[in-house]
């Protein structure tokens, strides 16, 4: 999941496989999207994050196109990248973090897109096209976007949380970090006054020292399930993706949890839909991308996941839940946008960050 200083741009995995049932006849399909002819009986294989799509999105696509979809999930973008590097087993769609797109392009692990087959790309918010990791959208299209911040249990934490420092200095051994080396090191960078995308070895070393010094309260480094630790009462405070925290807030129908974008700043990301090299059905993959960019389909996904939609047509059409659309922690206002940054991929420094993160986890016993 990805990120440069977003205010300048926007202002104005463990596999869990499942084959989704081939029909959705019990549900009325709201979208007016029409599948092109000629795909009946075909197969599409998708590789996406867990808990990251509406309940009927896949079933409706199967019904509309008369196809079968195999839907596998991963828990981190690093796991998805590692799977593709080891050899694509046949996935037609993959949804990695935007910050991983440059290295996937560099390693020739993605297929260039044919935009003539994705007319609904016109629905994407203009400011969310041409991102730093794929400036011409040659290989990838935005799926969902959001922030990485702090979720906490307000019944257990005695004060309102507003900063990274409060989390790092929390007195109880009940904090979960996110298994995202760039996001966690960047949090330290922001406190130390460094560029969160620093490539300087001395600064990265200082970030490592800071996290090690403030890691005594960490009980777990979560792949993509910190929200579950929070919901089960195993952690008081977690670093997590915004939508994951909003999902447990919605499920509990209580006021026990809060999500904040820290005052020092936070990571804004966008996951990207792409077609991996070795895809078995490139043509049907393009059809699926166009389907996801339908306003109603895109709105249904965002309303279900509580992440922000890159689909401007869905927003303008009043299809996004107003409670979500009006929440600045999901759709940040101009003031918040100024505190957010994109993670900038740099292949040359990738190993520096990998080694730094390995050292941190070893030193804090995770």
Cβ atoms of 6 and 337 within 8 Å: the answer is yes
Confidence (pLDDT) at 366? 85
Say whether pLDDT at 9 is over 80.
no
**Whether residue 140 sits in one domain with residue 111:** yes
**Whether residue 198 sits in one domain with residue 160:** yes
For 248-270, how does the pLDDT look when each residue is reduced to its tens digit (9 = 90+)?
Answer: 998 998 999 999 999 999 999 99
- Whether residue 163 is contained in a domain is answered as yes
- Whether residue 313 is contained in a domain is answered as yes
- Whether residue 1 is contained in a domain is answered as no
For 143-185, how does the pLDDT look when each residue is reduced to its tens digit (9 = 90+)?
Answer: 999 999 999 999 999 999 999 999 999 999 999 999 999 999 9
Confidence (pLDDT) at 11? 31
Confidence (pLDDT) at 345? 74
Residue range of the domain that includes 157: 146-267+340-363
Residues above pLDDT 90, as percent of the chain: 77
**Whether residue 303 sits in one domain with residue 239:** no
- Whether residue 296 is contained in a domain is answered as yes
Q: Residue 232 is encoded by which pair of tokens?
A: 């089960």
**Whether residue 303 sits in one domain with residue 249:** no
**Whether residue 62 sits in one domain with residue 121:** yes
Q: What is the mean pLDDT of the chain?
A: 90
For 271-292, how does the pLDDT look when each residue is reduced to its tens digit (9 = 90+)?
Answer: 999 999 999 999 999 999 999 9
C-alpha 322/C-alpha 230 separation (Å) is: 26
Identify the CA nearest to 312 among candidates 125, 140, 164, 103. 125
Confidence (pLDDT) at 26? 43
Give the pLDDT band (50/70/90) at residue 20.
very low
**Whether residue 210 sits in one domain with residue 106:** no
CA quadruple 279, 284, 286, 290: dihedral sign: negative
C-alpha 105/C-alpha 161 separation (Å) is: 39
- Residue 88: count of CB within 10 angstroms of its CB: 18
Say whether pLDDT at 2 is over 60.
no
**Whether residue 155 sits in one domain with residue 115:** no
Element (H, E) at 266: strand 266-276
**Whether residue 240 sits in one domain with residue 95:** no
- Whether residue 176 is contained in a domain is answered as yes
Give the pLDDT band (50/70/90) at residue 4.
very low
For 231-243, how does the pLDDT look when each residue is reduced to its tens digit (9 = 90+)?
Answer: 999 999 999 998 8
Confidence (pLDDT) at 250? 87
**Whether residue 313 sits in one domain with residue 215:** no
Confidence (pLDDT) at 187? 97
C-alpha separations of 102 from 13, 53, 110, 191, 350 in Å: 19, 24, 10, 27, 12
**Whether residue 62 sits in one domain with residue 82:** yes
Which CATH number goes with the domain that contains 199?
A: 3.40.190.10
Confidence (pLDDT) at 17? 40
Query: How would you classify the pairing of strands 266-276 and 140-153?
Result: antiparallel
**Whether residue 150 sits in one domain with residue 140:** no
**Whether residue 257 sits in one domain with residue 275:** no
**What's the number of domains the chain is made of?**
2
- Residue 193: count of CB within 10 angstroms of its CB: 8
């Amino acid at each position: 999941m990805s990120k440069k200083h977003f205010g300048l741009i926007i202002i104005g995995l463990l596999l869990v496989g499942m084959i989704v049932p081939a029909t959705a006849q019990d549900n009325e399909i709201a979208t007016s999207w029409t599948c092109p002819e000629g795909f009946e009986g075909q197969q599409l294989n998708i590789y996406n994050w867990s808990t990251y799509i509406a309940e009927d999105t896949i079933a409706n696509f199967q019904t509309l196109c008369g196809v079968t979809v195999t839907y596998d999930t991963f828990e981190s973008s690093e796991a998805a990248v590692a799977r593709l590097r080891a050899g694509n087993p046949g996935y037609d769609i993959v949804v990695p973090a935007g910050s991983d797109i440059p290295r996937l392009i560099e390693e020739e692990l993605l297929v260039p897109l044919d935009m003539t087959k994705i007319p609904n790309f016109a629905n994407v918010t203009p400011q969310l096209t041409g991102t730093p990791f794929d400036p011409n959208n040659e290989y990838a299209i935005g799926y969902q976007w959001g922030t990485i911040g702090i979720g906490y249990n307000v019944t257990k934490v005695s004060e309102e949380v507003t900063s990274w420092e409060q989390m790092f200095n929390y007195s109880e051994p009940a904090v979960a970090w996110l298994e995202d080396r760039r996001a966690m090191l960047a949090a330290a960078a922001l406190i130390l006054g460094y560029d969160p995308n620093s490539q300087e070895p001395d600064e990265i070393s200082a970030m490592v020292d800071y996290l090690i010094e403030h890691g005594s309260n960490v009980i777990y480094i979560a792949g993509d399930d910190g929200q579950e630790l929070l919901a089960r009462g195993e952690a008081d405070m977690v670093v997590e993706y915004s939508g994951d925290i909003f999902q447990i807030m919605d499920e509990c129908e209580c006021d026990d949890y809060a999500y904040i974008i820290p005052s020092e700043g936070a990571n804004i990301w966008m996951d990207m839909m792409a077609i991996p090299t070795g895809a078995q059905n490139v043509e049907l993959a393009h059809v699926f991308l166009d389907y996801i960019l339908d306003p109603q389909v895109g709105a249904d996904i965002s309303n279900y996941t509580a992440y922000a939609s890159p689909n401007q047509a869905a927003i303008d059409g009043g299809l996004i839940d107003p409670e979500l659309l009006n929440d600045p922690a999901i759709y940040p206002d101009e003031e918040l946008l100024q505190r957010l940054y994109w993670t900038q991929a740099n292949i040359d420094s990738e190993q520096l960050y990998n080694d730094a993160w390995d050292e941190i986890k070893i030193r804090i016993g995770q």
